[in-house]
């Protein structure tokens, strides 16, 4: 959520961010007007309440013969105070509705525009040069008997699947490698709830324009999470953290659920875009002034994981219009997918500055001991879709797939997955 003082002091900055995102600039002026209305309504309420308190003292001190009239006046004042308090609360609610629609302020250097306007920061690794026609991950999964999409669709519908045998073990190996790396870097491991309350989902920014992507259970008034970022962002909601001299880092392991309502038929083949998958998510709480440096650290840890999986990849600076409401900057790390002849996103890392923490009331004590809003960042360290790139990049002419060396120890020394004879 945008800071009220910034809205009053520098609305031009917020407008410029909305323009870069292609978002509604008019919301900024509307929010400024509502903020002023709230301020006036609150002032009127406080004036009336002070008058009511002063009048109460008069009633207490008044002679008996004057009390009846003064009590009647006190009742009128009480009604006026309640009415003005309701007006102030309504003004607050109307302001909050609009503030929640304004997206986070993009950081300097973020490219303007939409999905296609990203900037490539670097490319790493060599793309495989096959002396044969490579198979896509679906064909490989079927021939190796490690992915069963047909039966997944039979029992749950499209975009569901079974991971089977070494396919299931390969995902677990990748997740465990990521968890070990995170633990060595000082992250605290958490297995997170996958159902959260509306205020937590709202606080993280996932109930805005992308709310159609979220599964909702109306009988319980709970949401299924599409990332453990949601639960991790809510972990310290309504708390004041005593010490953020060093970032507080968590690694959340969870199953994730996404409706993919906005995918419009994209990636219907295979497991690149599915309704259910597993993911290990890094999440950091830090001081706002430390957030950009922490962002670079999260990105470096992600790159380490792709290098351990021996994948060619590139890093892109995501354009403002493709950031989502909470991120002020986002880097995507995309692996080369041979049969598509293109890079596809495997992971991203976002600097949400103070946007989520302000909505969730997560604070820390600054050097003077005063509460201040924390910054939050997140980044995926491993997830199911990585199997797409691992299978396709490491396939061999005989139909087998070599296991990246870093994963073999988690598979009992298995070096490759061979077709069933």
Instruction: Pick the catalytic residue from 284, 325, 348, 350.
Output: 348
Of the candidates 21, 159, 249, 258, the residue annotated as catalytic is 258
DSSP letter at 93 equals H
- C-alpha–C-alpha distance, residues 22 and 112, integer Å: 8
Q: Within a 10 A sphere around the Cβ of 369, how many other Cβ atoms? A: 7
- CA angle, residues 379, 381, 384, in degrees to nearest 5: 115
What is the maximum span of the chain, computed from C-alpha positions, in angstroms?
A: 107
Determine the angle formed by the axes of helices 386-393 and 166-184, rounding to 10 degrees. 110
Which alpha helices (H) appear in 158-247, and where do they start and end? 166-184, 198-204, 229-234
* CA–CA distance, 354 with 101 (Å, rounded to integer): 16
Question: Annotated catalytic residue: which of 49, 259, 273, 344?
Answer: 273
Q: Which of 415, 411, 410 is nearest to 180 (CA)?
A: 410
Q: How many Cα atoms within 13 Å fall on the side-chain side of residue 50?
A: 6
User: Is 85 a catalytic site residue?
Assistant: no
Q: Is residue 385 among the annotated active site residues?
A: yes
Set 159, 249, 329, 385: catalytic member: 385
Among 271, 197, 276, residue whose Cα is nearest residue 233: 197
258 among known catalytic residues: yes
Instruction: Say whether 159 is catalytic.
Output: no
State both tokens at 176.
């465990």
358 has catalytic annotation: no
Residue among 345, 365, 400, 408 flagged as catalytic: 345
- For the annotated catalytic residues, the residue numbers are 258, 273, 345, 348, 385
């Amino acid at each position: 959520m945008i800071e009220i003082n910034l809205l009053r002091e520098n609305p031009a900055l917020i407008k410029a961010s909305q323009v870069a995102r292609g978002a509604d600039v008019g919301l900024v002026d509307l929010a400024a007007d509502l903020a002023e209305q709230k301020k006036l309504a609150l002032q009127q309420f406080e004036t009336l309440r002070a008058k009511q308190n002063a009048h109460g003292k008069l009633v207490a001190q008044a002679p008996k013969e004057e009390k009846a009239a003064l009590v009647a006046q006190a009742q009128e004042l009480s009604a006026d105070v309640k009415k003005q308090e309701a007006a102030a609360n309504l003004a607050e609610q109307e302001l909050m509705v609009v503030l929640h629609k304004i997206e986070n302020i993009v950081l300097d250097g973020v490219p303007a525009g939409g999905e296609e306007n990203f900037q490539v920061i670097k490319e790493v690794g060599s793309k495989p040069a096959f002396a044969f026609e490579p198979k896509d991950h679906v064909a490989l999964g079927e021939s190796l008997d490690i992915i069963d999409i047909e039966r997944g669709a039979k029992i749950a519908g499209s975009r569901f699947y079974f991971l089977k045998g070494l396919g299931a073990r390969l995902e677990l190996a990748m997740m465990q490698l990521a968890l070990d790396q995170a633990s060595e870097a000082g992250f605290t491991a958490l297995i997170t709830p996958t159902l959260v309350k509306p205020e937590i989902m709202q606080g993280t920014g996932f109930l805005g324009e992308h709310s159609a992507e979220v599964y909702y259970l109306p009988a319980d008034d709970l949401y299924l999470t599409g990332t453990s970022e949601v639960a991790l962002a809510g972990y310290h909601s309504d708390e004041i953290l005593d010490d953020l001299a060093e970032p507080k880092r968590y690694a959340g392991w969870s199953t994730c659920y996404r409706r993919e309502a906005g995918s419009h038929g994209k990636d219907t083949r295979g497991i690149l875009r599915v309704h259910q998958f597993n993911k290990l998510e890094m999440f950091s709480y830090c001081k706002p002034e430390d957030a950009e440096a922490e962002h670079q650290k999260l990105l470096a840890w992600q790159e380490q994981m792709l290098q351990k999986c021996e994948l060619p990849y590139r890093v892109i600076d995501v354009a403002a219009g493709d950031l989502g409401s909470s991120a002020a900057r986002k880097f995507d790390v995309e692996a080369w997918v041979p049969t598509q002849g293109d890079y596809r996103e495997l992971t991203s890392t976002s600097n949400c500055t103070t946007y989520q923490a302000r909505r969730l009331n997560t604070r820390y004590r600054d050097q003077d001991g005063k509460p201040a809003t924390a910054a939050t960042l997140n980044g995926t360290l491993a997830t199911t879709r990585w199997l797409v790139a691992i299978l396709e990049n490491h396939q061999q002419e005989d139909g087998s797939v070599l296991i990246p060396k870093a994963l073999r120890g988690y598979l009992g020394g298995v070096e490759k997955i061979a077709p069933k004879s």
